[in-house]
Amino acid sequence: MNTLEQTTDEILQLAARHFHVPREQLNASDDFFKRLGINSLQALDLLTRLEQHFHIELPDYELQGVSDFRTLAERIQSRL
């Protein structure tokens, strides 16, 4: 099973690739809304891609109040 660091790194790679942001510019503590410049609909798009990538279901209410990559990774990690 992935470590939290691996999960975080995979999230950062996926976000960088999909939203065309250089991977090296993204950090685990970043606010992904601000860093990626995404709105609520794009956030749902990111959620769908993460669910597909990790083969999980992540109820969106678990993401309420979550805005940084590390906490997002923790939520995903708990479903792996």
Partner 1 sequence: MKSFQGKTLSWQVREGTIELSLDRAPCNEIGSETLVELEKFTAALEALQEDAHALIILSTRKEGFCAGADLRELHERSQALGVAQRAAGVRDFLERIHRVMNALDAAPLVTIAAVHGVTFGGGLELALVCDLIIADKMARFCFPELRLGLIPGFGGIPRLKRDLGNAIVRDLLLTGRSIHAAKAQSIGLVGQVVGDGDALRAARTTAAQLGKFDRETAIAAKRFIKPVPYEELRREIDIFCELFTRPAVATGLKKFVESTEALPYLP
**Residues found near partner 1 in the complex (CB under 8 A):** 33, 39-41, 43-45, 47-49, 51-52, 57, 59-61, 63-64, 67
When the beta carbons of 3 and 79 are compared against partner 1, the nearer one is: 79
Long-range CB contact pairs, 49-53, < 8 A, 24+: 49/14, 49/18, 50/11, 50/14, 50/76, 53/10, 53/14
When the beta carbons of 8 and 32 are compared against partner 1, the nearer one is: 32
Neighbours of 32 (CB within 10 A): 22
Between CA 48 and CA 52 the distance in angstroms is 6
User: In whole angstroms, how close is the CB of 69 to partner 1 at the nearest point?
Assistant: 14
User: In whole angstroms, how close is the CB of 3 to partner 1 at the nearest point?
Assistant: 25
User: In whole angstroms, how close is the CB of 29 to partner 1 at the nearest point?
Assistant: 17
